[in-house]
Amino acid sequence: ARPTTIPRAEELAALARTAAQRCGVDLAAIAGDVRTPSPVNGEDLHPVTWVDAKSVDLAVERAQEAFLAWRTVPAPVRGALVKRFGELLTTHKSDVATLISLEVGKITSEALGEVQEMIDICDFAVGLSRQLYGRTMTSERYNHRLMETWHPLGVVGVISAFNFPAAVWAWNTAIALVCGDSVVWKPSEITPLTAGACAALLDRAMTELDTPAYLSQVLIGGADAGQALVGHPGVALLSATGSTRMGRAVGPRVADRFGRVLLELGGNNAAIVAPTADLDLTTRGIVFSAVGTAGQRCTTMRRVIAHTSVVDQLVERISEAYRRLPIGVPLEAGTLVGPLISGTAYRNMRDALEAAAQQGGTVLVGGGRRLEDQAPNAYYAEPAIVRVDRQTAVVRQETFAPILYVMPYESLDEAIAMNNAVPQGLSSSIFTNDQREAERFMSADGSDCGIVNINIGTSGAEIGGAFGGEKETGGGRESGSDAWKNYMRRATNTVNYSGELSLAQGVDFTI
Ligand code: UN1
């Protein structure tokens, strides 16, 4: 293990406070007695206070008022707010990234990447603010016009997870704001400072541009606040990112009140490695996707399905890379793997490894814990590779930790069937230089996931495409492409400029 020193608790807390203050967070105003330990050292950063479920009512009420004013502001003018927010994020990129590293344990490069993703979605949304296009269709009647118009939807509730504590909110908020909606955000309870910093930057942009008050609000609180948001009839769209279990609770409650829901849930993402794969590129692609963010992305690669002709060689290469992985303090230059979010996450990882062994798998590398002596409350796990010969129960479930199951295949049909034989459907990839295989994997009878990549790992999607997946992943699409349509309502307009009343479908109703 390379030498690495866990910084003193006070040092990390001071770093967090400085970064938050630079973003405009009023630390005294949010201070309280809810402990927020950093996964970096397991010690408190800045205990905060939580809102209660009742404040959700007030927030939604205020958001509704803001929406009524905002919806008539021209979309490109709304875009100016998002443009300014993107500029402020650019100025404070490293402050927000520092908070992400401290609260989530992300390495600096990935934390900066998360903020870059926010800046990118702001750029995208600003462009979009002039492109909220509706279609014109040909009418079946003489001198009639048929068209559709997209209008602002209402209050958007955003529930985000710890692993992308800022970017997922930004995907939703940047798009919602240009679409003319207001936003109420319930971030993960373990990332309050990152949330506070993001909200403070957006607040500043809102003040500078003199937008309606309460256009965007953040509720630092617990599960009860989230549940109140989910059940609130004033929330027109509820966009939730998290576990499948959470989605199963949220989906029906929103559906029951005929609200709109956008779910971004678990993944169990696989890569197929074909006989023609470039194994250097494949190894790098796999290792980034499998151990980046310490295996805690919803797009993390959890399975490798490798052709029997390459599986042994591939396992050797990735195992070799795993043995050399720099695991340690995420803020230290050179670290590639930071800590897991909590002791529970590490115990879940151990349980899964044990189950895998019981189900016939062999743990080839990893699974141990590092730096325990320096920081007993921090959980630095060694990413693990497990060789299995089939997809047992533990392989089919999502364990939010760096465990990579590797299994062999003979025919592409079999590999595609294995890719699809899990309850989740977020991301997938194939490493191949055979164009027919690549096309087949992207085709109707190929991968059943929302994201299907060729010669790239399963994680690290760009914001320009729609992000999300099928089955237990929840079916939602956010971020780029036409995901903005989730945040607007569509009106179909028929215009008669004929001077006569003619009825559709040739109906005769002469009076
Ligand atoms: C998530 O893990 O919830 O594609 C989002 C990726 C990132 C987003 C992940 N752009 O890995």
For ligand 1, whether the C-beta of 297 sits within 6 Å is yes
In this predicted structure, what is the pLDDT of residue 1?
56
**Is 264 an annotated catalytic residue?**
yes
Asked whether 300 lines ligand 1 (CB < 6 A), one says: no
- Using alpha carbons, list the distances in angstroms from residue 215 to 76, 155, 156, 175, 218: 16, 9, 10, 13, 10
From the CA atom positions of the chain, what is the Rg in Å? 24
Q: Are strands 466-467 and 451-454 parallel, antiparallel or unpaired?
A: unpaired
460 lines ligand 1 (CB under 6 A): yes
Percent of the chain's residues with pLDDT above 90: 98
Distance CA 346, CA 369 (A): 9
Q: Ligand 1 pocket, 106 CB below 6 A?
A: no
Q: Which of 289, 459, 462 for a ligand 1 pocket mutation test, highest count of atoms within 8 Å of Cβ? A: 459
pLDDT tens track for 446-478:
999 999 999 999 999 999 999 999 999 999 999
HSE value, Cβ hemisphere, 13 Å, CA-based, for 413? 0
pLDDT at 53: 85
Q: List the alpha helices (DSSP H) in 5-48.
A: 9-23, 27-30
Q: In the 8-state DSSP scheme, what is residue 488?
A: E
185-198 in b/e form (b: 16+ CB < 10 A) is bbbbbbbbbbbbbb
Predicted confidence (pLDDT) per residue in 491-500, tens digit: 999 999 999 9
Sort 155 into a burial class: Cβ within 10 Å, 0-12 / 13-18 / 19+: buried
Q: Is the CB of 299 under 6 A from ligand 1?
A: yes
Beta 369-370 vs 380-381: how paired, if at all? antiparallel
How many angstroms is it from 144 CA to the middle of ligand 1? 46
Helix axes 192-208, 75-91, angle to 10 degrees: 130
Give me the pLDDT at residue 413, please.
98
Q: Does the ipTM surpass 0.95? A: yes
Whether residue 254 is predicted with pLDDT greater than 90 in this model: the reply is yes
Q: How many Å lie between the centroid of ligand 1 and the Cα of residue 114?
A: 9
**Ramachandran class of 302: left when φ > 0, alpha when ψ lies in -120 to 50, beta otherwise:** alpha
Q: What percent of the chain has pLDDT over 70?
A: 99
Average pLDDT of the segment spanning 335-356: 98
Specify the pLDDT at position 2. 66
d(CA 203, CA 296): 30
Mutate to test the pocket of ligand 1, among 100, 112, 299, 301 (most ligand atoms within 8 A of CB): 299
* pTM as predicted: 0.97
CA dist 179 and 172 (Å) reads 10
The catalytically annotated residue of 110, 114, 264, 382 is: 264
Q: Is 296 a pocket residue for ligand 1 (Cβ < 6 Å)? A: no
Q: Give residue 24's pLDDT.
A: 98
Q: Output the average pLDDT for the chain.
A: 97
Residues 258-306: pLDDT tens digits?
Answer: 999 999 999 999 999 999 999 999 999 999 999 999 999 999 999 999 9
Residue 169 has pLDDT above 60, yes or no: yes
CA distance to 77, 135, 147, 333, 497, per residue, from 139 (Å):
33, 12, 9, 62, 12
Residues 40-68, mean pLDDT to the nearest whole number: 96
Where does the pLDDT of residue 36 fall: very low under 50, low under 70, confident under 90, or very high at 90 and above?
Answer: confident
Ligand 1 lined by 461 (C-beta under 6 Å): yes
Ligand 1 center to residue 164 CA distance, Å? 7
Three-state SS across 93-156?
HHHHHHHHHHHHCCCHHHHHHHHHHHHHHHHHHHHHCCCCCCCEECCCCCCEEEEEEEEECCEE
pLDDT given at position 57: 97
Closest atom of ligand 1 to 451 CA is 4
Q: In angstroms, rounded to a whole number, what is the distance separating the alpha carbons of residues 302 and 397?
A: 10
Ligand 1 contact, 188 CB (< 6 A): no
Pairing type for strands 380-381 and 301-307 reads unpaired
- 3 pLDDT exceeds 80? no
Q: What angle do CA 393, 394, 395 make, to 5 degrees?
A: 90
Q: Judge whether residue 443 has pLDDT over 80.
A: yes
Atom of ligand 1 nearest to the CA of 467: 4
Q: For ligand 1, what atom is nearest to the CA of residue 297?
A: 2
Q: Give CA torsion, residues 209, 218, 59, 178, to 10 deg.
A: 40
In this structure, are residues 50 and 220 in contact, taking their beta carbons and an 8 Å threshold?
yes
**How many residues are given for the chain?**
511
pLDDT of residue 104: 98
Query: Which of 104, 168, 191, 298 has the most ligand 1 atoms within 8 A of CB, as the residue to mutate?
Result: 298
* Contact between 385 and 424 (Cβ < 8 Å): no
Ligand 1 binding pocket mutation candidate from 297, 300, 400, 426 (most atoms within 8 A of CB): 297
Half-sphere exposure of 57 (CA within 13 A, CB side): 3
459 Cβ inside 6 Å of ligand 1:
yes
Instruction: Say yes or no to pLDDT of 391 above 60.
Output: yes
Express each pLDDT in 361-382 by its tens digit. Answer: 999 999 999 999 999 999 999 9
